[in-house]
Structure 1
Amino acid sequence: MSTDATPALTDASFDDLGLAAGVLEAVKELGYETPSAIQAATIPLLLEGRDVVGLAQTGTGKTAAFALPILSNLDVYDAAKPQALVLAPTRELALQVCEAFERYAAHLPGVRILPVYGGQGYGPQLTALRRGVHVVVGTPGRIMDHLEKGTLDLSQLRFLVLDEADEMLNMGFAEDVETILADTPEEKQVALFSATMPAQIRRLSKKYLRDPEEIQVKGKTQTAANITQRYLMVSYPQKVDALTRILEVENFEGMIVFVRTKNETETLAEKLRARGFSAAAINGDVPQNVRERTVNQLKDASLDILVATDVAARGLDVERISHVVNYDIPTDTEAYVHRIGRTGRAGRTGDAISFVTPRERYLLRAIEKATRSTLQQMHLPSVDEVNATRLSRFDDGITAALAETERVEFFRDVVRHYVEEYDVPEVDVAAALAVVLQGEEPLLLEPEPERPVREDRPRRDRDGRDRGTDGRGERRSRDTGQPMATYKISVGRRHKVEPRQIVGAIANEGGLRRADFGNISIRPDFSLVELPADLAPETWAALESTRISGKLIELRRDQGAPGRRSGGPRRDGGFDRGDRDDRPRKPRHKGPRD
């Protein structure tokens, strides 16, 4: 049976859904008011024990749709063996789901939730499993490892969730997922969530779910047309300086800067104050009277910048807010819409700027898809732009001071006396007064030093032409247009490695997407993989401990040594006869390891 989760379903409140008292208390503390369409349609079915297939995009609130009913039905006094298992395609999603479970279980004493993913040592996971957990949230590869080692017992499993099932299968986890499903009890409740319903997902649903109810959520998340939406590509360490430059150049009245954590609100507000901006923080720990005083200061213009978390900003309505900055881009598209809706109030125009790190490109695309809007890329304000703004502000300050005729007349006499007494030109006295006023902080930024540009030599086809370039010798992804480079990993054919394992392991550990991969050429003792040329430092760090078939991949940039042409990628994107990995064949082991 199929149900269309229309907006009318969201007229219900969380009180009407039948959640356990402790879970409902946590939901209200988090500031949730009405359930989203997927939550209103799914939660009652799962509480009744029905299997569910939810067709919903990322950011529709589906984590709460399955976490809240699972927690409501848990036996909190039995943690000997896991009662619930959530499978997620990436460790980032696994951690997000785990954190959500912990927030919703805040008033369920003793409930233990364990994240299980690659890149983390086995020790803490084994200790937690021996102590007992109620809910396990993990990636298929690491769950498979524990099942093979006998360290994870699913014999008492009551609830199983496949989150973003289509992405899991796209990453090559199909065999692992089926193996895990086959290793669970026959009598269990299953919820499958997917953005699309390809044939493989349909077959999985028919095989492992019992008479499931299909819930489909049509994208209806939209942003106001009077809000200009932009984004800035920036690395995490550059965020504070980038925000500082934007604050100097943008003409704003009031601003809310959104961050993910309570601690970050205080830290960022303090850094902004140190740079001369009027900023304050609000978060869930700020007392109500302090919150009200801070919001009133924002309204009456005695405060310009509010640094806040999503929960703290709920219900905030201040017409003076002209700009919203997503210092940390939200992982939930509904949260994005809620955030930028704080500006452009009462028919006024507004600006929304989102900081996006290289690893968060997928969140940007999810927001654009869900909101059916295109965010315009902006560039970091240059030194010249910042200096021009500072000089203009300096001029405005002089103009405003000259309007105060009585005070100017007094200081004119003071300056005239100094000029006559010390025989100094008036312009020099004015310059000296500016120095006194400015203090040690320089008025203008220093020009940025030029950075040498490293030129990578593009690979060439056998006819001498550059392969996969943009006409300037720079190879670019066909899917994303981003610059690509070739990397070498220390696993090859003799390790029985296949392309899907490479994609699954590197994507999962490094936070990359399927579209970030180019050609893959598997050689006897190593493999060559095309990946983005600007891999972030955190991606390099994450991939240092990545293994495929039990062997460290030892990722490094390929230097294009001689003698590697045999079996390399062809111009048409396939492989030469020296490498037969483009031919379909039966997998030789359980799949990608995370």
Structure 2
Amino acid sequence: MTSTEAPVTSFSELGLSEPVLKALKEVGYETPSAIQSATIPALMAGRDVVGLAQTGTGKTAAFATPILSRLDVTQKTPQALVLAPTRELALQVCEAFESYASHLKGVSVLPVYGGQGYGVQLSALRRGVHVVVGTPGRIMDHLDKGTLDLSQLKYLVLDEADEMLKMGFAEDVETILADTPEDKQVALFSATMPAQIRRISGRYLRNPEEISVKSKTTTSANTTQRYLMVSYPQKVDALTRILEVENFEAMIVFTRTKNETETLAEKLRARGYSAAAINGDVVQAQRERTVNQLKSGKLDILVATDVAARGLDVERISHVVNFDIPIDTESYVHRIGRTGRAGRSGDAISFVTPRERRLLTAIEKATRQPLTQMQLPSVDEVNITRLARFDDAITEALGQVELISQFRDIVGHYIKHHDVPEEDVAAALAVVAQGDTPLLLSPEAERKQRFDREERPGRPDREERSGRWEREERPGRRDRGDRQGSRSNAGLATYRIAVGKRQKVEPRQIVGALANEGGLSREDFGAIQIRPDFSLVDLPANLSSEVFKKLENTRISGKLIELRPDRGGSSSSPAYGKERPPRKPRHD
């Protein structure tokens, strides 16, 4: 086994093609990470590889760049297949391939996952694709239908193999490996190396080179790290509230794309903040002017991409906000390293959408430091801050003796001729001063900007739900009547699936398969009861027709689950499996 230390080479020394090197430079990659400097030469030499590496170590580039460097663009059947445990990871890997292939003409990369219509995937496959990135379940569906031709496959990657096994894809993965050409090159990446993965490696990989990378990424102890659960559409409002209540001097806000830097900076300026954007398209002279403005205090907020902010060291930066949480833990460390420098204290806040929890977990593992969850600042907290600033503004104005004397005469003249109490005049002047923007937020603003939190009122929190899935029955919910009564409050209905103990399924397999195929999130699941020949799953009662159809065609452990509403029938009933219920739940 090869154990790698810190990378010491440049990408140009790893044998990659010139178009790929050019794309890497544009993306902002300068020095290969440990997993990249160890893996790329082995893959370029045609060796099979087993990589033991955590999420966020840069392994996507480690396998994507060698594949792209050796693609034959004239071949229209898939040459490379990447298997990923979730559709989110599949999309991330697909995006990475596309960015690394930006200077390769005619390269086609197709994501294949549950939750997307077959039509889009089928039309792309008919046109011809070079790289397919997908989840095992949907890949198996295409193989069963004969719509995916892997007969000329040259490269196969198992990304986060241990996660795929945990989600119940072991049988599908082995079937795919067995049905592809024997002379293909295989790369297997996993954070852990359980016996099952070791067995798969020994059976399907040819004399693989084993590479182990231990993450040494650490963050400054002077930086307080927090995260906020927020849906994507609510990020701007959340950032605005944080800017109101946080006592920051200067701040960098990180986004993933160049366009987002400009868009967000414009929105912040519209809300009265001095903000500017820097990204890879900003010329060096403009970048220097912007950074100098940040240093001098003329600018308070910098919205930046990873590439644009590299090497930036400004003492005033007290806060870093990850408006988009990075998919790479090394990028996270580099980002928050812009604050808390040279012994100074700093704050780092990351916005995490519900589907990005796994990225948060990866960051905590890599940095060996947990992030503290924070709540969206409430209306009361925002108003307290605004009143404090209003008080400070009055106190500062009172220090301007000459102006106060002039305006005292003006106010006195008004009171004398209009017979209005001094307090009312002062209040009226405050109304004039606030302009079109109210000084205080109203309770209606709280309701309008309320988050769709994972821990919703009246519903169990995530940890409780996760533990609930691990039990076959919940206490106090033994009979169907009890289940029905409890479900009505949570908006859930019970569905029956045609896999059970005889198929050796576990709750996590059911959750993983249904979430991937139907685009469901974890809070969409209620109780899971596994019976000998079938299982009962609580899912949203208002599943759309499209989602219901996708779930009907889901496979678990290679078996079609035949999702249907549960009517309380027994598995031994002659009607079970032969006759569908007379009606389905409403699909509004």
Q: CA deviation at 1:283?
A: 3.0
Aligned mate of 1:21, from 1, 8, 18: 18
Supply the AA of the counterpart residue of 1:284: G
Task: Return the offset for 1:493.
Answer: 5.3
TM-score (norm 1): 0.82
Q: Which residue of 2 aligns with 1:570?
A: none
1:252, 1:407 → 2: CA distance?
30
For the residue of structure 2 that corresponds to 1:157, the secondary structure is coil
Counterpart in 2 of 1:74?
Answer: 71
- Supply the distance in 1 between the matched residues of 2:327 and 2:546 (Cα, whole angstroms): 22
Q: Report the alpha carbon displacement of residue 334 of structure 1 after superposing the two structures with TM.
A: 1.4
By how many angstroms is 1:303 displaced? 1.8
Q: Is the 8 A contact 2:87 2:135 kept in 1?
A: yes
Letter in 2 for 1:409: S
CA deviations 1:83-115 (Å, max 9, x no partner) are 111111111111111100110011111111111
Counterpart position of 1:176: 172
Is 1:499 the counterpart of 2:498 in the alignment?
Answer: no
CA distance in 2, matches of 1:11, 1:493: 51
| Aligned counterpart, 2:116 | 120
**Cross-structure match for 2:391:** 395
> Retained in 1: the 8 A contact 2:114–2:517?
yes
Task: Give 1:488's match in structure 2, choosing from 479, 490, 494.
Answer: 494
User: What does the per-residue CA deviation read over 1:316-364, in whole Å, with 9 as the maximum and x for residues that have no partner?
Assistant: 2222111111222222211211111111123211001112223222222
Identify the range of structure 1 (172-181 vs 277-286) with the bigger mean alpha-carbon deviation.
277-286
Give me the whole-angstrom Cα distance separating, in 2, the residues matched to 1:524 and 1:3: 46
Amino acid of the residue matched to residue 245 of structure 1?
Answer: R
CA 554–226 in structure 1, closer or farther in 2 if over 3 Å, else same:
farther
| 1:479 alignment counterpart | none
> 8 Å contact 1:509–1:543 — kept in the other structure?
no
Classify 1:11/1:487 alpha carbon distance in 2 versus 1 (closer, same or farther; 3 Å).
farther
Give the whole-Å Cα distance in 2 for the aligned partners of 1:494 and 1:194.
Answer: 28
| 1:301 match | 297
Deviation at 1:485, TM superposition (A): 9.5
Q: 1:263 to 1:153 in 2, by over 3 A?
A: same
SS at structure 2 position matched to 1:352:
strand
**What's 2:196 paired with?**
200
Within 5 Å, which residues of 2 pair with 1:325-474? 325-447=321-443, 454=458, 466=476
Counterparts in 2 of 1:467 and 1:334: CA distance versus 1, 3 Å? farther
- Structure 2 distance, partners of 1:26, 1:527, is 48
Once residues 66 and 455 of structure 1 are traced to their aligned partners in structure 2, the CA distance between those partners, rounded to angstroms, is 42
Q: Please give the root-mean-square deviation of Cα atoms over the aligned residues, in Å.
A: 3.7
Corresponding residue to 1:129 among 122, 125, 135: 125
Matched letter for residue 495 of structure 2: I
Deviation at 1:22, TM superposition (A): 0.8
What is residue 536 of structure 2 aligned with on the other side? 528
Q: Show the counterpart of 1:591.
A: none
Structure 1 residue 215: deviation in Å? 0.4
1:286-335 per-residue CA deviation (whole Å, 9 max, x = no partner) reads 34443333322222222212222323322322221111112222222112
Q: Is the aligned partner of 1:509 residue 2:517? A: yes
**Could you tell me how far apart the structure 1 residues matched to 2:63 and 2:523 are?**
29
SS at match of 2:153: coil
Output the TM-score relative to the length of structure 2.
Answer: 0.82
CA contact (8 A) 2:499 2:505 kept: no
Partners of 2:548 and 2:291 lie apart in 1 by 44
Q: In the TM superposition, what are the counterparts of 1:314-325 in structure 2 within 5 Å?
A: 314-325=310-321
Question: What is the Cα deviation at residue 384 of structure 1?
Answer: 1.6
1:146 matched to 2:146: no
What is the SS of the residue equivalent to 2:54?
coil
Question: Given that residues 265 and 277 in structure 2 are in contact (C-alpha distance below 8 angstroms), is that contact kept between their aligned partners in structure 1?
Answer: yes
Instruction: Report the residue type matching 1:167 in the other structure.
Output: E
Shift of 1:390: 0.6
CA 1:202 to 1:523, structure 2 compared with 1: closer, same or farther past 3 Å?
closer
> How big is each residue's C-alpha offset from its partner over 1:222-246, in whole Å with a ceiling of 9 and x where there is no partner?
1110000111222333322222221
Instruction: Name the SS of the counterpart of 1:225 in structure 2.
Output: coil
Amino acid at match of 2:84: A
Match of 1:162 in 2: 158
Distance in structure 2 (CA, Å) of the matches to 1:540 and 1:323: 45
Structure 1 Cα separation of the partners of residues 368 and 500 of structure 2: 47
Residue ranges of structure 2 left out of the alignment (5+ in a row): 451-455, 479-489, 574-588
Of 34, 51, 75 in structure 2, the residue corresponding to residue 37 of structure 1 is 34
Q: Which runs of 5+ in 1 are unaligned?
A: 469-483, 568-576, 579-594
State the distance in 1 between where 2:319 and 2:93 align.
30
